């Protein structure tokens, strides 16, 4: 009598009759577990799969893994990733993490046994060639022995030790909150439910898991690219910041603090410049820029078209706004091609002269890697708005958005009627858009990108 443990119709749960259950072959051979792929689609054509056809225990394991992927994979991950604004690889890794858990639960064995070559992953981490794509792909092995073998193969050095600790956190937190029996892993079973509410709950579960993988992988990248760590790398030269520049000829009797502009190295791409452009990206349909495999640390071999207005976002970073770095980064990610200025007074001119009170953090399609420390006061509300309006706009149609509670203060934290009237007059004459929260700024930027002007 056949062992029911390996009898697939009994081992795998019954699926409801859905369009996502129809599959056509998209290839007849897969050499490893990563090459075994399933693309689930909600369209009439159904999904596609790639699985091995050869005989052998390893190939049989990969075929069964393909069946598990077909059962527990989110449909239309490319569209889902685009709507959630995260890399497609994060959803692929989320699908595989769930499939790894379900494979072991169903068949009682490790799907990565004799089917995964961990050497490229270990070599990349040991040589400090760590990219977001590498971490996203590695997250697809969470719950398997291959992930643990990668951790054991990492050699000890200051950077790899830090990465190893963070990879342990990525594995443990993912299993604890998303893959263990005590969590809401059972929501994944609702992917093929006949009830729309249950299917939406399952999609929410995969969204949460994909965002979790992206967030922790990005934390690893941030942890190894801090200024202190970058000084230890031979390929980079430590950046020596320039002294903030004094702007204009404002005197104390004008009521405002003396403005000092601080500029920083704009190391990261910021989604294009003015007008329609083709920019490199990490995901797409047809690879074009193969040279970027060597020249670009992010391996952006695909391209996409972008449209930007070349506007300006001016951030009031005083204590009354209580903005976090995540709030500002969210607006940065939404302000395609915009220049971004942050301002805050440090309390005295000596500190302003040393650290600056107006900070240019994004311009011409580039943005700085981290954000500087800000003081607690306002001090330069009007000078910052003038700088953004007069020096950073690329044409007369470029909008200027001011993220502020409009509680302006001047020299020594003084709040006078004169300063408020000057600022209000400047804002009205220049048609500057005023919002009081980052969420409203993101909404307004999205509307402007779509051509909606209210």
Q: pLDDT tens across 118-140, in order?
A: 888 888 888 888 888 889 989 99
> Domain check: are 154 and 269 in the same one?
no
Taking CA atoms, 212 is separated from 102, 175, 208, 285, in Å, by: 19, 11, 6, 25
> Domain check: are 200 and 327 in the same one?
no
Backbone angles phi, psi at 315, to 5 degrees: -100, 125
Within-domain flag for 294: no
Q: Is residue 273 predicted with pLDDT exceeding 50?
A: no
The sign of the CA dihedral 87, 68, 18, 16 is negative
Within-domain flag for 264: yes
Tokens of 84: 């959630």
**CB-based contact 72:98 (threshold 8 Å):** yes
The Cα–Cα gap between 298 and 83 comes to 21
Q: Based on the structure, what is the number of domains in the chain?
A: 2
The reported pLDDT for the residue numbered 198 is 81
* Residue of 314, 329, 320 lying closest to 385 (CA atoms): 314
At 359-384, the pLDDT tens digits run 998 887 777 877 888 888 888 999 99
Give residue 36's Cα distance to chain centre.
26
The band of 10, judged by pLDDT with boundaries at 50, 70 and 90, is very low
Residue with tokens 């004799």: 114
Domain that holds residue 135: 4-227
Angle between the N-to-C axes of helices 132-139 and 196-224, in degrees from 0 to 180, rounded to the nearest 10 = 130
The Cα–Cα gap between 162 and 94 comes to 24
> Domain check: are 174 and 208 in the same one?
yes
Whether pTM > 0.75 for this model: the answer is no
Within-domain flag for 176: yes
The sign of the CA dihedral 405, 407, 410, 411 is negative
HSE (side-chain half, CA atoms, 13 Å) at 199? 13
Within-domain flag for 162: yes
Largest CA distance in the chain: 96
Within-domain flag for 238: no
> Domain check: are 199 and 259 in the same one?
no
The reported pLDDT for the residue numbered 147 is 92
> Domain check: are 23 and 94 in the same one?
yes
Residues 6+ apart with CB under 8 A from 140: 34, 92, 93, 95, 96, 97
> Domain check: are 172 and 253 in the same one?
no
Strand ordering across the sheet containing 37-39: 23-25, 47-50, 37-39
The Cα–Cα gap between 215 and 212 comes to 5
Within-domain flag for 377: yes
From 227, 260, 291, the end of a domain falls on: 227
The Cα–Cα gap between 90 and 110 comes to 22
Helix (H, G, I), strand (E, B) or coil at 96: helix
> Domain check: are 362 and 220 in the same one?
no
> Domain check: are 108 and 177 in the same one?
yes
> Domain check: are 88 and 210 in the same one?
yes
> Domain check: are 265 and 199 in the same one?
no
Within-domain flag for 235: no
> Domain check: are 181 and 258 in the same one?
no
Within-domain flag for 234: no
The band of 327, judged by pLDDT with boundaries at 50, 70 and 90, is confident
At 17-60, the pLDDT tens digits run 455 555 655 555 557 787 777 777 666 556 676 777 777 888 88
Give CA torsion, residues 74, 80, 85, 91, to 10 deg: 20
């Amino acid at each position: 009598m056949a062992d029911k443990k390996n009898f697939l119709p009994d081992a795998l749960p019954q699926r409801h009759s859905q369009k996502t259950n129809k599959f056509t072959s998209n290839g007849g051979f897969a050499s490893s577990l990563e090459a075994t792929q399933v693309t689930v689609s909600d369209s009439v054509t159904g999904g596609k799969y790639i699985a091995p056809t050869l005989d052998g225990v390893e190939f049989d394991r990969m075929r069964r893994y393909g069946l598990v992927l077909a059962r527990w994979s989110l449909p239309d991950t490319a569209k889902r990733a685009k709507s959630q604004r995260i890399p497609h690889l994060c959803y692929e890794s989320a699908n595989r993490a769930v499939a790894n858990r379900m494979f072991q639960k169903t068949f009682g064995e490790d799907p990565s046994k004799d089917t995964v070559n961990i050497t490229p992953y270990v070599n990349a981490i040991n040589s400090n060639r760590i990219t977001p794509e590498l971490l996203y792909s590695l997250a697809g092995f969470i719950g398997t022995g291959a992930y643990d073998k990668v951790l054991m193969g990492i050699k000890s050095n200051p950077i790899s030790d830090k990465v190893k600790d963070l990879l342990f956190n990525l594995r443990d937190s993912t299993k604890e909150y998303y893959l263990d029996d005590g969590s809401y892993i059972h929501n994944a079973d609702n992917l093929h439910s006949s009830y729309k509410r249950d299917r939406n709950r399952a999609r929410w579960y995969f969204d949460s898991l994909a965002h979790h993988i992206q967030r922790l992988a990005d934390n690893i990248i941030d942890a190894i690219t801090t200024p202190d760590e970058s000084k230890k790398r031979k390929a980079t030269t430590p950046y020596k910041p320039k002294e903030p520049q004094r702007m204009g000829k404002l005197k104390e009797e004008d009521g405002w603090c003396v403005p000092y502009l601080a500029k920083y190295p704009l190391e990261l791409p910021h989604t294009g410049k003015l007008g329609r452009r083709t920019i490199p990206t990490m995901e797409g349909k047809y690879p074009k820029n193969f040279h970027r495999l060597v020249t670009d640390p992010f391996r952006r071999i695909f391209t996409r078209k972008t449209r930007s207005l070349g506007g300006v976002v001016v951030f009031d970073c005083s204590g009354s706004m209580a903005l976090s770095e995540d709030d500002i980064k969210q607006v940065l990610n939404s302000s395609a091609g915009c220049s971004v200025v942050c301002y805050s007074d440090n309390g005295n001119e000596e500190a302003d002269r040393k650290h600056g009170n107006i900070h240019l953090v994004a311009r011409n399609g580039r943005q700085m890697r981290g954000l500087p420390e800000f003081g607690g006061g306002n001090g330069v509300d009007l000078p910052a708005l003038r700088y953004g309006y007069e020096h950073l706009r690329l044409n007369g149609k470029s909008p200027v958005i001011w993220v502020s509670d409009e509680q302006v203060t001047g020299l020594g934290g003084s709040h006078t009627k004169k300063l408020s009237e000057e600022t209000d007059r400047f804002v009205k004459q220049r048609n500057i858009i005023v919002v009081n929260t980052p969420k409203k700024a993101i909404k307004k930027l999205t509307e402007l990108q779509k051509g909606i002007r209210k």
